[in-house]
A and B are shown apart, each in its own frame.
Chain A
Amino acid sequence: GAGVSQSPRYKVAKRGQDVALRCDPISGHVSLFWYQQALGQGPEFLTYFQNEAQLDKSGLPSDRFFAERPEGSVSTLKIQRTQQEDSAVYLCASRLEPIKETQYFGPGTRLLVL
Chain B
Amino acid sequence: KQEVTQIPAALSVPEGENLVLNCSFTDSAIYNLQWFRQDPGKGLTSLLLIQSSQREQTSGRLNASLDKSSGRSTLYIAASQPGDSATYLCAGRLTPSGSEKLVFGKGTKLTVNP
Contact = CB atoms under 8 A, between A and B. Distances in A.
A43 B100 contact: no
A42 B100 contact: no
Interface stretch (A51-59, A67-75, A76-84): A51-59
Nearest to A55: B100
A87 interface: no
Interface in B16-63: 32, 34, 36, 41-46, 49, 51
Interface of B is mostly: strand
A40 B49 contact: no
A104 B42 contact: no
A45 B92 CA distance: 12
Contacts of A58: 99, 101
A56 B100 contact: yes
Q: Give the size range of A's interface with the partner.
A: 20 to 34
Interface string B71-114: 00000000000000000010101000001111111110000000
B49 A101 contact: yes
A109 B44 CA distance: 13
Nearest to B99: A56
A1 B44 CA distance: 17
A102 interface: yes
Nearest to B103: A45
Nearest to B104: A42
Given A40-B106, A48-B100, 4 more contacts: A42-B4, A45-B103, A93-B43, A102-B34
Interface of B: 4, 32, 34, 36, 41-46, 49, 51, 89, 91, 93, 99-107
25 contacts: A35-B104, A40-B106, A41-B106, A42-B4, A42-B104, A43-B89, A43-B91, A44-B104, A45-B101, A45-B102, A45-B103, A56-B99, A56-B100, A58-B101, A59-B101, A93-B43, A98-B100, A102-B49, A103-B34, A103-B102, A105-B43, A105-B45, A107-B42, A107-B43, A108-B43
